[in-house]
């Protein structure tokens, strides 16, 4: 691997690690359920990016398949959470009437 590319990937992995820590803080601290859902989606996206960088770093293209699978699961999970929040909000609104 080209040394410059290796250094860039290592720096990108470090930045992604920092972003994962910050997303974890947002998941744990809130302040609201939609904020947590967005943070979970961000966490999934960051994990996909980290796996893709790992595939480049190790020169193992099989990790790209894992990244694609994780992206699909994260997307469907976010859609499911959003529908849950939407239904919960509608039920709370109807209960108030």
User: Which tens digits make up the pLDDT trace of 35-67?
Assistant: 888 899 999 999 999 999 999 999 999 999 999
Instruction: Average the pLDDT over each of 21-25, 71-75, 88-92 and give the range with the smallest value.
Output: 88-92
52, 64 contact by CB (below 8 A): yes
Average pLDDT (86-96) is 76
Confidence of residue 85 (pLDDT cuts 50, 70, 90): confident
- Distance, in Å, from the CA atom of 14 to the CA atom of 39, rounded to the nearest integer, reads 19
Of 4, 41, 1, nearest to 20 by C-alpha is: 41
Q: Report the percentage of the chain scoring pLDDT > 90.
A: 62
Average pLDDT (3-15) is 94
- Distance, in Å, from the CA atom of 60 to the CA atom of 94, rounded to the nearest integer, reads 53
Question: Is the pTM of the predicted complex or chain greater than 0.75?
Answer: yes
């Amino acid at each position: 691997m080209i040394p410059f590319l290796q250094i860039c990937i290592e720096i990108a992995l470090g930045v992604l690690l920092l972003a994962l820590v910050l997303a974890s803080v947002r998941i744990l601290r809130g302040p609201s359920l939609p904020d947590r859902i967005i943070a979970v989606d961000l966490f999934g996206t960051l994990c996909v990016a980290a796996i893709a960088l790992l595939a480049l770093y190790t020169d193992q293209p099989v990790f790209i398949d894992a990244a694609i699978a994780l992206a699909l699961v994260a997307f469907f999970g976010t859609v499911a959470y959003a529908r849950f929040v939407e239904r919960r909000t509608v039920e709370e609104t109807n209960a108030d009437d």
